[in-house]
Structure 1
Amino acid sequence: MSMPFLFRSALALVLTLLLAACGTLESQRSDEAALQPVIPSGALTPITPGNLDSWAVQGLQPPADLWQRLRAGFAMPDLDTDMVHDREDWYASRPEYIQRMADRSSKYLFHIVEELERRNMPTELALLPYIESAFNPQAVSHAKAAGMWQFMPATGTYFDLRQNAFRDDRRDVLASTRAALDYLQKLHDMFGDWHLALAAYNWGEGSVGRAMAKNQNLGLGVGYTDLSMPDETRMYVPKFQAVKNIIRDPAAFGVVLPDIGNHPYFDIVDIARDMDVELVAQLAGIGVDDFRTLNPSHNGPVILSAATTEVLLPWDNAQTFRRNLANHRDGRLASWTVWTTPRTMNAKEVASSLGVDEKELRSVNRIPANMLIASGSALLVPRSAATLYDVAEELAHNGQLKLMPQRQLRRTTVVARKGETVATLARRYGVAAADVAEWNKVGRNTRFKTGQRLVIYRPAATSTARASTAPKAPAQRARTRQAAKR
């Protein structure tokens, strides 16, 4: 067989295979075309070429400086008014004040920025405590607002910030920040505007709502600058905007901000047993004042684990605390416990009945002079060596110290009427049945004999009170009638 013949045969075979393959591909394309949706003519538009602003690639490293990270999240519209410029000048002329506030905020700012980013909220809201409290978590206003976010008692209760004899969560770093951001988001959802939300945070949502309704009825605008409001609220957002402008560009205002690293300042450690504050600080290797800076909600010398399951410690000291606690061999962690008063008492009576120092009792529980401790009050008292159990959860969560003015009481002897009981005698003289029973050393359900002599203590009448109830002289009565006529 000749080579040309073999070559022609091989070539014919290759051509046959290629034609078969083409037929298969055509068949597959036909099948695929049948499965594609039919796109109407004109439904697609040409792609418009875009302009590339920069060839730079976004870095993957997080900002090394917290200020940079904070600025990157600014998302609220700016306010540009004369009041803003006035407040800029005020702050810029006090660089030591800005420095002091910024130094104080360095312990808390990272956590607040983290929370804002997690909630997708504008990060400049982290600057609000500068306006509210200068970032002092122990701040208390004349209106009794407390903490770095300045919660009023009722608003704090609404947002689950506990306020009892042992702690005030309006000062708690984590709890108050959570509540403040909840509240600010609620206000923004209500008004749809961050400036109005801030005004409502300061003035109250009801006040802002009424001011907006009034303007609507008059056909006026309902923005922040349109509303009639108190001077404090009128200046509130400009102060906030001024601080924001200074933080955004401190060099423009001649301000130097302290370095704040983009990392946590504190760590959270668990508390499983009641512990003295001094012991926690000692095991962590920090001072008591440093502990209270991060845990300002604790009012006394002891942490009650049933209500406070964790505390904050500087990042490195948290690990020191865990290690030292694990090696702590003394089983006694708390030298204080809680005692509930069985009746209304004064501090001297409590101290005497418990065998404790009255001055220390008053100091730890903040009991002023000439005040009575109401029945059922929760008091911090020294824990005896025999007391091994921790304070119960109900008491740790809800214990309250109730004080009342101490009146001068006068001992009076009275005679029991027919059928007289402790309860009826108490009602007759307007005193507590428990006190009547205590004064006469009888049970609460005792029935007295007719004519039985009993002891009652009643407020002593002051000279002012006696004078006010004495009959008026004729001339005085005449002056009173003339005054009434006028």
Structure 2
Amino acid sequence: MYLKISAVMLVALLSGCVSMTESNSQDTDKSVNTPALVQVQGASAEQIASRLWYGEVPAEQLVPLDATELEDLWQRIQLQLTFNVPQTRPIVEQRNFYSQHQSYLDRVANRAQPFLYHIVQELEKRNMPLELALLPIVESAFDPFAYSHARASGMWQFMPATGTRFGLKQNFWYDGRRDVIESTRAALDYLQYLYNTLEHDWLNAIAAYNAGEGRIGRAIRANKKRRLPTDFWSLDLPAETTVYVPKLLALVDILKRPDDFDIVWKFIANEPRIAVVPTDGQIDLAIAAELAELSVAELQALNPGFNQWATDPDGPHHLVLPLAKAENFKRLLAQTPATERLQWQSYTVSSGDTLGKIARQYKTSVDAIIRLNELSGNTIRIGQHLLIPMSAKAADKYELSQQNRIAKAQGRSGGNVKTEYIVQSGDTLWDISREHKVTVAELAKWNGMVQRDPLKPGQKLVMWHNSSSNPSTAITRTVRYKVRKGDSLARIAQRFSVSVAEIVKWNNINTERYLQPGQQLKLIVDVTQV
């Protein structure tokens, strides 16, 4: 369902241009602080919305209306917008973009459906501007899995350090920056802090959310020294920020008067869609999905903070569920013993095993193994028996896990020759990109990363090339080769299907000197060709 909101009616209502009956007009003192929003006595909510937005209402039937009684959540936001939107060139340019991309706003509304009511409710509780409910459109298009080139993550696009500062835990199991409930709490905490810190000016606070409080604070102090105004429009700010705030104000303007721009805001019911249900401990997401009568992907979409196949053993111990399924889930969960909410496997330690190696093999964490087995540290011995937490379903069934989202990014073709590379200790993206004649930006993009992301030994990276007319796949490994008596560069190159020039480059070899038995060489080998 799509709904257009009448700007004319809105202006009339908000300006109080409503004639009252004699009996109502007598009590002028009481009506001074009464909202100018209206309701028809005895009408249904649907009739109220229909008359309010599409037709005239007889004046004698008008009584105050709470915005929470409207059918459409966009209306609820619209009726509480307070920002002045100047018709400056940056705002007009951004407004033109949005007004020409109805399909984009439709996609945003689809993503916002489960969560927007919660955001609106939290803003109202804190008496914060409802304009801030539109900020996730600018930040992430309401995508809780959004990840920026600067390592900002989630619907509210928190940087790692800022997320930690505002209580968003980030570890192997869980990233609170993607948890919509927790990140909303943190974002509103941050915005309130910025407002209180930066001249009690909401546009300055929003600008600081983008550029950082230090950058905006310095701009304000600089203007004060020169006795200049300190409002957003008067500050010397980064180019990105001078566009960021107009993007939000353009959306505000379009929501205030959509008829002027031939835009419709896709209907979102003005009612809660989700519930936060306690789990009282760690639970496999596949088992939780079955109890909730959802697919694993549906459950993960509502709980994007969980990176792996299960919730974090240290919490948060709750799940976001569709409101209609919450009570039945609670009942079924209560009937499920804690021992049946996770699966474990017995593992016997072998030579060369470490807790890190075992944890990577079973897609769990070292801490989880230590806790489950009551170990005092990281030391294990050959023959020791360990209980290892493991997923109830195959890894690919957890479609939106961190591993599968990376795999999906790696599967997007960037050429017709795909190369796989296993990260070794000490590797960097720069080193790998140089060795494989690709750019760091390309390498990061192909692997769903940003250039500053750390690498872990054993991590798989993919690279794409256009050096062959036929698609193929190579699997590369970095190996250490110990030179034997009688070896030559040519013989080693032939054996490992590489060139002499590559061996020389990888090892900074002086070709005027002979190889020595026992000398270690670094080789990057396509194991499918050896």
TM-score by length of 2: 0.58
Q: Structure 1 residues 344, 105: closer, same or farther in 2, change over 3 A?
A: closer
Q: Equivalent residue for 2:456? A: 403
User: Tell me, what secondary structure is at the counterpart of 1:275?
Assistant: coil
The verdict on how the C-alpha distance between 1:153 and 1:282 changes in structure 2, with shifts beyond 3 A counting, is same
- Three-state SS of the structure 2 residue aligned to 1:278 is helix
Moved more, 146-155 or 304-313: 304-313
CA distance in 2 between partners of 1:338 and 1:216 (Å): 67
Structure 2 residue aligned with 1:131:
138
* 2:441 corresponds to: none
**Of the candidates 43, 55, 63, which is equivalent to residue 57 of structure 1?**
63
2:422 alignment partner AA: N
Would the alpha carbon gap of residues 57 and 263 (structure 1) be closer, same or farther in structure 2, given more than 3 Å must change? same
Inter-CA distance 228–50: structure 2 relative to 1 (3 Å threshold): same
Distance in 2 separating the partners of 1:135 and 1:350: 32
* Residue 464, structure 1, aligned to residue 464, structure 2: no
Q: Supply the distance in 2 between the matched residues of 1:402 and 1:273 (Cα, whole angstroms).
A: 31
Change (3 A) 1:161 1:347: closer
Q: Does 1:171 align with 2:223?
A: no
Q: How big is the shift at 1:102?
A: 1.3
| CA deviation profile, 1:383-438 (whole Å, cap 9, x unmatched) | xxxxxxxxxxxxxxxxxx982378644679xxxxxxxxxxxxxxxxxxxxxxxxxx
Quote the sequence identity (%): 35
* Letter of the 1:147 counterpart: G
Measured after TM superposition, the shift of residue 249 of structure 1 is: 2.3
Alignment of 1:50-449 (within 5 A): 56-59=62-65, 62-191=69-198, 192-328=200-336, 332-335=340-343, 342=354, 345=357, 366=403, 369-371=421-423, 403-404=456-457, 408-409=479-480
For residue 263 of structure 2, give the secondary structure of its aligned residue in structure 1.
Answer: coil
**Rounded Cα–Cα distance in structure 2 between residues aligned with 1:151 and 1:161:** 9
The two structures, once aligned, show a CA RMSD in angstroms of: 4.0
The 1-side partners of 2:402 and 2:270 are apart by 39
Q: 1:160 to 1:217 in 2, by over 3 A?
A: same
Q: CA deviation at 1:346?
A: 9.1
SS in 2 for 1:286: coil
* Structure exhibiting the larger radius of gyration computed from Cα positions: 1
**Distance 1:407-1:160 versus aligned 2 partners, 3 A rule:** farther
Unaligned runs of 5+ in 1: 1-48, 375-400, 413-460, 473-486
The 8 Å contact of residues 344 and 372 in structure 1, kept in 2 or not, is answered as: no
Output the TM-score relative to the length of structure 1: 0.63
Contact persistence 1:272–1:305 (CA under 8 A): no
**How far apart in 2 are the matches of 1:467 and 1:208?**
48
Letter in 1 for 2:304: P
> 1:398 matched to which residue of 2?
none
1:155-196 residue CA offsets vs partner (Å, 9 max, x unmatched): 111111011001100000111000000010111111121111
The CA distance in 1 between the partners of 2:196 and 2:104, in whole Å, is 34
Supply the distance in 1 between the matched residues of 2:312 and 2:345 (Cα, whole angstroms): 9
Q: CA deviation at 1:204?
A: 0.8
- Offset from partner CA, 1:338-385 (integer Å, 9 cap, x none): 99984665999889998999xx789988499523589xxxxxxxxxxx
For residues 220 and 344 of structure 2, what CA distance do their matches in structure 1 show?
53
Q: CA offsets, 1:458-484, max 9 Å, x none?
A: xxx963364367899xxxxxxxxxxxx
Q: Match of 2:275, SS?
A: strand
Number of aligned residue pairs: 349
Q: Aligned partners of 1:370 and 1:82: how far apart in 2?
A: 50
Q: Would the alpha carbon gap of residues 165 and 464 (structure 1) be closer, same or farther in structure 2, given more than 3 Å must change?
A: same
Q: Tell me by how many angstroms 1:209 deviates.
A: 1.6
Q: Name the SS for the 1:101 alignment partner.
A: helix
Contact 1:133 1:148 in 2 (8 A): yes
> Hey, what's the Cα distance between the residues in 1 that align with 2:112 and 2:362?
42
Q: Report how far residue 67 of structure 1 moved.
A: 1.8
Q: Secondary structure at the match of 1:154?
A: helix
Q: Secondary structure at the match of 2:277?
A: strand
- 8 Å CA contact 1:276–1:336 kept in 2: the answer is no
Kept in 2: contact 1:216–1:222 (CA 8 A): yes
